[in-house]
Structure 1
Amino acid sequence: MHVPDGFINAPTSAVTAVVAAGAIAVSLRGARRELDDRTAPLAGLVAAFIFAVQMLNFPVAAGTSGHLLGGALAAILVGPCTGVLCVSVVLLMQGILFADGGLTALGVNITDMAIVTTVVSYAVFRGLVKVLPRSRRSITAASFVAAALSVPAAAVAFTFLYWIGGTTDVAIGKVATAMIGVHVLIGIGEAVITALTVGAVVAVRPDLVHGARDLRQKLRLRVHGELVDAPAPEAAPVAARTSRRTLWVTGLVTSLVLAGFVSFYASSNPDGLEKVAADKGIDKKTGQHASADSPLADYGVKDVSDARLSGGLAGVIGVGVTVVAGSTVFWAVRRRRAGDDVSATATGSV
């Protein structure tokens, strides 16, 4: 659902850029509360994983494909504010390096694919978790429903933006029907990917999943007639660090394999937005991408003639760049939180 340059007019794109900038500023502050030394490394990995899986277009209807948006997955794994940042990092890398999603439409894409999907999915997820039994299966089921609804919600958001600032004269009813219809189907694929991924992480490290916080129960002991939290075993931190490292390496290797090898077998059909745009004529004023001459444009390495090798190298490079960029952002956010904690401690001791 990457919106290219030319679909939405300049004033509307400018407004969404302001909205996106404001949401990112709020998310940076919110991420300081969500991230700690255990989860900050995972956030960079989540961004890289979303980049990799977005390369795996899957068929959803005759001549149409879909791909992961990732807002629900990121929000549930690392928190809604951090999730907005994860998807935004992915969109920025895709727009600058791979000419995927217009640069003048970056605000539109962040608003639609990062903000809307994350907010809608996490609201649905939290609502379901509150009424479902406290179990890992409930987390997985809630992830499925939240992800499934987030995709048509993004389609509705795009339709609304097109209604306000579309550059072609197409009946909004036709756009809405086509966009929502195909993205309901794409949402099913999004739900399957999200539920499988969240379920896999919850199965091995539920303490690292932001959305599974309700599953964490501290052991309490009765001391002199009062209940107190039991101290964690001394060996636990070492084991946890080892497990986090294994999870991170496994996730990175999986992302590299998906982007570098499996992506070659992805569907070549246009995705939902591209298909609707071509069928309904809303792509008549599509502009040339500012990064069209990028060495990695269209997810291929320039001057590498072998399609499999070219696409695989581009995918591996993309995963590497995204994990570095994401990890840098979240490391800086974590450092800022650590500085705030130190300042608060110093103030409290005065």
Structure 2
Amino acid sequence: MFNLTVLSVWIGNATAVALQPPTNITFYQSLPDANRYILSIANAISLGLWAAYTTASSALRSVPFFRVSYSAFPLVSWRLFSLLRPSGDGISWHERKPRPVQSLDSLFIDDKDELVADCLRFFEPSSQARRTGRGKLPYMGMLLYGRPGTGKSSFALAVAQHLGVPIYRPGSLSTYDDQTFRSLMSAIQQKCVILLEDIDTADVTRSRNEANTSGAKVDKACLGTILEELDSLNVEGGAMVMMTTNHMEKLDPALIRAGRVHRRVEFQLASRETAAALFRNEFKDEMAEHDLDQAAKKFAAQIPDRRFSPAQIDEFLHGKEKDLEGALEGVSGWVKSTEAADLQDSVVGSPSESDGP
């Protein structure tokens, strides 16, 4: 029987196991008591953090571990990943027990490699030193825009996981007033990713020159407060702010101008190439690579280009529960029924003639 080198470490009440060789790393994370993900083993042995031993591969099957695999994006150092949410007091953060997060390998978006490389470069100490030397704050803004289900939030979570930095995720900004938003941002003191989701739902969709003539009290964090906090972010090691929106046209130009947003990334509906990649990812353990490629092409040929979101296609594939033939036979009917449902939704959502313009 083939023997595998297994590395094990205890972090709090969690146990993580990684298989060697490191060119094909698999992590097993115990659930539900786990409070961190272990993301890399490089340098870990030299730091004395791991205990190594040998065991038969079958021994792992009886252990209730959650599996996360990485291949295309090799990990380069010992890192921990954590997700932080606002605490009940509204002015501080607490660490949430992690749930499974998609790896970069399972996300299929345009220019993914280039985007990840940009994120890696930003957090490099040499890059941070250059920014400081030029009098710039250690801050990078990225606007992720596109239709719902195209992978904007998933990408931000996967990048934070890959980088091994905490991700601060306050949720909808429409739930915060100015004071609460200031308190939360000032409490961020470590190298991190900050995910501001659906930025268009906050009070930043109004122009700065538009007055609130209704007389009603505005309790949402306003544009000025958000701009002030972004401009004053000064976190040692760097803070990357990723803002997501389904409606970039609603955003005030001041929020997304050069200097605050260093890169705009459009997340598009799935191309046929993306559909094929999703199919291969779902059924990669079901058949030989050559046959799988042929099946993926057959699957993708039945899906209109740029018509459905990756999330919609992924949901259909997951529903087949590893039934490859069922996916190939059922996709045409799924396309027709989904298009019909979308058409019905658009008709219901359209104003009638009696509604006026």
TM-score, length-scaled by structure 1:
0.25
Kindly name which structure, 1 or 2, has the bigger radius of gyration based on alpha carbons: 2
TM-score, length-scaled by structure 2:
0.25
Structure with the higher strand share, 1 or 2: 2
Structure with the higher helix share, 1 or 2: 1
